[in-house]
Chain A
Amino acid sequence: MIDKKRIRNWILTSVSIVFLFLLLAYLNKHASSYVIQILNVTAIYIILTVSYNLINGITGQFSLEPNAFVAIGAYTAALLTMTPQEKAMTFIIQPCISPLNHISIPFLPAILTGGVVTAILAFLMGIPVFRVRGDYLAIVTLGFGEIVRVFATNLIPLTNGALGLKGLRQYTNIWWTWGTAVVVVFFIVGLVNSSYGRAMKAIREDEAAAQAMGINVFWHKMLAFVVAAFFEGVGGGLLAHLLTTIDPRLFTFFLTFNLLIMIVAGGLGSTTGAIIGAILFAWGSELLRWMEEPHVIFGLHTPGIPGMRMVTFSVLLILLMIFARNGIMGRKEFSWDGLFSFINRKVLRRA
């Protein structure tokens, strides 16, 4: 019975993914480059929110790491894909340090290395932080974000300072972004729905009781943090090769703040919610960007107010925290079984 359902769900999931990629293929061919760009950004947001939610929502450890980790992934991958000639042309203030100045590797190993470097840094950060109880993680990750920004600005032979890295090849396309997003969701949902995920949720719900279950709280917080870091680093690499230009201003705390809005709006602790939050934010902020520009609507001039987007999002977050703390999904997840029982209930009620 359970196995039959599992096979049905597996087929439904596979069909949906095939359908998603057919749709993307169609859009890739016929949609404007503007729409394709938003689609790419949507997928990168999904990668980041689903990872961020693992540490923040599933394991319940309030963390403010994404901007730092995305930056590290982005810089690492970019420095690895740039050719020696490109580096020589980009690093005009001071030359790029050796051996990076004559290293160049393909895109996939470069973004994976970005993920690994980020994961290693997360691990080192986790050792002191997860040894003690309490909300040090938020403070440490926030501080780390600043450190990364200062390094990115001042460590000129490594990062080219405020000028950033320019002229990256645009390796990232719709297949890379959505392919990675699907893989990340697959991995993290697998982890969350396993014994490991239950251990992480147990830590969120009651740390002492989790210990009484024999769970090593330190290692499971670490596992969630390092896995999140790896995928955030990979997301950073994809972002760098989508935008083709990165500089320190791209990775300010606003990035983390935006991701926080996405996962809270979607429902902290719900992977489904994280995905919904990412989609709504990516498309919603385009709508708001339009509102920031001056328009003539039915003969009325609306002035463009720059910065309206940030204000709107901040107000939205405040309203969410007051009136809808659980977000769209709460801690519920989408499942085929849930969908069918929902449809059944509706049909039965009507019959």
Chain B
Amino acid sequence: MAAILKTEGIVMKFEGLTAINNLNIEIQEHQIYGLIGPNGAGKTTAFNVITGFLTPTEGKVYFRGEDITGLKPNKITKKGIGRTFQNIKLFPEMSVIENVMTGFHIHRKFSFFEAMFRLPRFFKDENKMYHEGMELLDLVGLTEFAHDQAGSLPYGHQRKLEIARALATHPTMLLLDEPAAGMNPQESSELMDLIRKLRDEMNLTILLIEHDMKVVMGICEWIKVLDHGEEIAEGTPEEIRNNPRVIEAYLGEARKVA
């Protein structure tokens, strides 16, 4: 098995603050990999570095062996890394199906001239985007909301829509930033099924940030724990659950490790 994503000695400093200090991640193809840690540990910052929204102060990011450090976010998406956002970032005034179709834009098969002149290829490809978009909505269970405004959906649905939209870019690796936040227990159990399905049926590799320990322990095969930007542990869910340093890190914060 080859590592699909690898970071080497990532350091991310914001003026005085070191948000991440020496992060080394190695994710195998088809793995479901968890990144956990208390609030402010640097998890989202790690996502932003991997997806090109931040250029690390030091260190490298490799995707399929290729150095992608400092590439623009849109370039990284095109390489096959999709992501969702912790603070939901939908296109709120566009419809649910339009949100998903936006993800297909990089795979369009017509030029803007063909769109302006409404040539056959434009209609054909738009039709295809619509149908594939509806399939993705079906996958995440949002078919009935296809023509509603994205911003009007309840919180849990918005998170699912973000996943569907990310899938539309045809990623091989998906980064999910707290996808279960704001979901009720039934929704988060459906989410676990969905994530497994994405891995098993769509052959995706998943990197997951999540606070809901039931979800993390339930689906992750490998977990890395961050605290104050430092790696404090990694291992299987079993090992992490019983790691004294992890328990200690979480103790200040609501004792989330079950």
| A and B physically associate | yes
Interface residues of A (CB under 8 A from B): 2, 187-188, 190-191, 194-199, 201-202, 205-206, 208-217, 223, 227, 331
Q: List 5 A-B contacts (CB under 8 A).
A: A196-B105, A198-B101, A201-B93, A212-B85, A212-B89
**Whole-angstrom CA separation of A188 from B92 in the bound complex:** 23
Interface residues of B (CB under 8 A from A): 51, 53, 72-74, 77-78, 82-83, 85, 89-94, 98, 101-106, 108, 110, 112, 115-118, 122, 125-127, 129, 165-166, 168-169
- Is the CB–CB distance between A190 and B115 below 8 Å? yes
A127–chain B nearest beta-carbon distance, Å: 16
**Whole-angstrom CA separation of A166 from B126 in the bound complex:** 48
A230–chain B nearest beta-carbon distance, Å: 11
**Whole-angstrom CA separation of A214 from B77 in the bound complex:** 5
- Is the CB–CB distance between B115 and A191 below 8 Å? yes
- Is the CB–CB distance between A201 and B117 below 8 Å? no
**Whole-angstrom CA separation of A153 from B91 in the bound complex:** 45
- A190-B118, A199-B102 known; A212-B112 Cβ under 8 A: no
- The winner among A195, A211, A223 for most chain B CB atoms within 10 A is A195
- Is the CB–CB distance between A211 and B72 below 8 Å? yes
**Whole-angstrom CA separation of A202 from B165 in the bound complex:** 12
- Is the CB–CB distance between A212 and B102 below 8 Å? no
Inter-chain contact count A-B, CB under 8 Å?
103
Tell me the interface secondary structure of chain B in the complex.
Answer: helix
Tell me the interface secondary structure of chain A in the complex.
Answer: helix
- Choose from A191, A209, A211 the contact partner of B90 (Cβ within 8 Å): A209
Closest to A10 in B: B118
- Is the CB–CB distance between B77 and A213 below 8 Å? yes
B146–chain A nearest beta-carbon distance, Å: 13
* Residue numbers in A under 8 Å from B91 (CB-CB): 201-202, 205-206, 209-210
- A187-B116, A331-B93 known; A214-B74 Cβ under 8 A: yes
Closest to B130 in A: A2
- Is the CB–CB distance between B126 and A205 below 8 Å? no
* Residue numbers in B under 8 Å from A194 (CB-CB): 110, 112, 115, 122, 126
- Choose from A190, A201, A202 the contact partner of B116 (Cβ within 8 Å): A190
* Residue numbers in A under 8 Å from B77 (CB-CB): 211-214
* Residue numbers in A under 8 Å from B94 (CB-CB): 198, 201-202, 205
- 8 more contacts with CB within 8 A, not counting A2-B127, A205-B93, A209-B85, are A191-B115, A195-B125, A205-B94, A208-B89, A211-B74, A214-B105, A223-B112, A331-B93
B105–chain A nearest beta-carbon distance, Å: 5
- Is the CB–CB distance between A213 and B116 below 8 Å? no
**Whole-angstrom CA separation of A205 from B149 in the bound complex:** 12
**Whole-angstrom CA separation of A190 from B117 in the bound complex:** 7
**Whole-angstrom CA separation of A208 from B54 in the bound complex:** 12
